[in-house]
Structure 1
Amino acid sequence: MNRAISGTLLFAAVAVLGTLFLSWLSYVGVRTALETEFQRRLSNVAAATASQISPQDIADARILGDEGTGYANLEVQLTALRATTGLANASLFDSARAVVFDCRGPEYPHEPTRLDTLAPGDVAEALAGHAIVTQAYTLSGATYRAGLAPVSGAGGRVAGVVAVEGREDYRPVLARFRRRLASTVFVIALAVAILAALRIRAGLAAERLERRLARAENLAAMGRLTATLAHEIKNPLAIIRGSAQRLGKLEPEAERMAGFIVDETDRLSRTVARYLQFARAEEGTGDAAAPGDAGAALRATLDLLDDECRARKVVVGRSDLEGEAPVALDAESLKQVFLNLILNALEAMPEGGRLDLSRAERGGRFEFAVRDTGSGVAPEIAGRIGEAFVTTKARGSGLGLFLTRRLVQSSGGDLEISGEPGRGTTCVVRLPRCRR
Structure 2
Amino acid sequence: MTSAPHAPSPAPVVPAALDGIRAIEIGTFISAPFAATLLADFGAEVIKLELPDIGDPMRTLGEYPPGGDSSYWWSAMGRNKRSVALDVRTDEGREILGRLLESADVLVENFRPGTLERWGITMDWVRARRPGIIVARISGYGQDGPWRDVPGFDRNAQAFSGLVYVTGEPDMPPQQAGLPLCDFNAGLWGAFGIVTALLGQLRQRRESGNEIDLALYETMIPFLKDMPQRFRHQGRVTERTGNTPDYVAPGGAYRTGSGEWIFISGTGDRVFERLITAVGRPDLAAAEQFRQNKGRVTHRPVLDAAINEWLAARSTDEAIAQLQAADVPAVKIQSIRDVMTHPQVIARGNFIDVPQPEGGQVCMPAPLPRMADMPPQVRWPGEHLGQSTRRVLRDELGLDDAELARLAREGVIGA
**Same-fold call, TM > 0.5?**
no
The TM-score normalised by the length of structure 1 is 0.14
Of the two structures, which has the highest relative contact order with CA contacts closer than 8 Å and spacing of 6 or more?
2
